[in-house]
Copies of this chain bind each other. A is one copy, B any other.
Amino acid sequence: MDIHALTRELQMDNGSKIVMLVADGLGGLPMTPGGMTELETAQTPNLDSLAWRGVQGASIPVKPGIAPGSGPGHLALFGYDPLHYKIGRGALEATGIGFELQEGDVAIRCNFCTIDANGKITDRRAGRISSEESAPLAISLRQVKIPGVEIFVEPVKEHRFVVVFRAPGLGGNVADTDPQKTGVPALDPVAQDTASQRTAEIAKEFLSQAKKILSGHPKANFHTMRGFANKPSLPSYREVYGLRAAAIAVYPMYKGLARLVGMDIIGAAHTLSEQIDTLEKHWNDYDFFFIHFKYTDSTGEDGNFQGKVARIEELDAILPRIEALNPNVMIVTGDHSTPSYLKSHSWHPVPTLLVSDCCRPDPHKAFNESTCITGGLGQFEAQYLMALALSNAGRMGKYGA
Residues on A facing B (Cβ under 8 Å): 1, 3, 5-6, 10, 27, 29-30, 33-34, 37, 52-53, 58, 62-73, 82-83, 86-87, 89, 92-93, 339, 341-342, 344-349, 358, 360-363, 369-370, 373-380, 384, 386-392, 396-401
User: Are A358 and B373 also in contact (CB < 8 A) when A63-B1, A65-B390 are?
Assistant: no
List chain B residues, Cβ under 8 A from A82. Answer: 399-400
Additional 6 contacts, C-beta under 8 A, given A33-B53, A341-B358: A30-B361, A34-B361, A63-B387, A67-B399, A86-B400, A92-B401
User: Are A66 and B373 closer than 8 Å at their CB atoms?
Assistant: no
Jot down 22 A-B pairs with beta carbons below 8 A, ordered by A.
A1-B63, A1-B83, A6-B83, A27-B360, A29-B358, A29-B360, A30-B361, A34-B361, A62-B399, A63-B384, A64-B388, A65-B387, A68-B399, A69-B399, A73-B400, A82-B400, A349-B376, A373-B375, A373-B376, A373-B378, A374-B374, A379-B379
State which of B27, B89, B391 has its C-beta within 8 Å of the C-beta of A347: B391
User: Are B69 and A361 closer than 8 Å at their CB atoms?
Assistant: no
User: Are A64 and B33 also in contact (CB < 8 A) when A358-B339, A370-B363, A400-B86 are?
Assistant: no
Chain B nearest CB from A309 CB (Å) reads 17
- Give the CA-CA distance A27 to B359 in the complex, in Å: 12
Chain B nearest CB from A35 CB (Å) reads 9
List chain B residues, Cβ under 8 A from A10. Answer: 66
- Give the CA-CA distance A58 to B380 in the complex, in Å: 13
User: Are A396 and B66 closer than 8 Å at their CB atoms?
Assistant: yes
List chain B residues, Cβ under 8 A from A348. Answer: 360
Give how many copies assemble into the complex. Answer: 2
- Give the CA-CA distance A132 to B373 in the complex, in Å: 55
Q: Which residue of B lies closest to A341 (CB)?
A: B358
Q: Which residue of B lies closest to A79 (CB)?
A: B65
List chain B residues, Cβ under 8 A from A375. Answer: 373
Interface centre among A73, A377, A396, A401 (most CB of B within 10 A): A401
Q: Which residue of B lies closest to A92 (CB)?
A: B401
Interface centre among A345, A384, A400 (most CB of B within 10 A): A400
List chain B residues, Cβ under 8 A from A390. Answer: 65
User: Are A68 and B398 closer than 8 Å at their CB atoms?
Assistant: yes
User: Are B70 and A401 closer than 8 Å at their CB atoms?
Assistant: yes
User: Are A400 and B68 also in contact (CB < 8 A) when A53-B33, A358-B346, A370-B362 are?
Assistant: yes
User: Are B1 and A64 closer than 8 Å at their CB atoms?
Assistant: no
- Give the CA-CA distance A77 to B3 in the complex, in Å: 20
List chain B residues, Cβ under 8 A from A379. Answer: 378-380
List chain B residues, Cβ under 8 A from A87. Answer: 400
- Give the CA-CA distance A112 to B73 in the complex, in Å: 51
Interface centre among A66, A87, A92, A345 (most CB of B within 10 A): A66
Chain B nearest CB from A1 CB (Å) reads 6
- Give the CA-CA distance A228 to B69 in the complex, in Å: 46
User: Are A398 and B345 also in contact (CB < 8 A) when A358-B339, A378-B373 are?
Assistant: yes
List chain B residues, Cβ under 8 A from A70. Answer: 400-401
User: Are B373 and A362 closer than 8 Å at their CB atoms?
Assistant: yes
List chain B residues, Cβ under 8 A from A362. Answer: 370, 373
List chain B residues, Cβ under 8 A from A373. Answer: 362, 374-376, 378
- Give the CA-CA distance A62 to B369 in the complex, in Å: 27
Interface centre among A63, A339, A397 (most CB of B within 10 A): A63
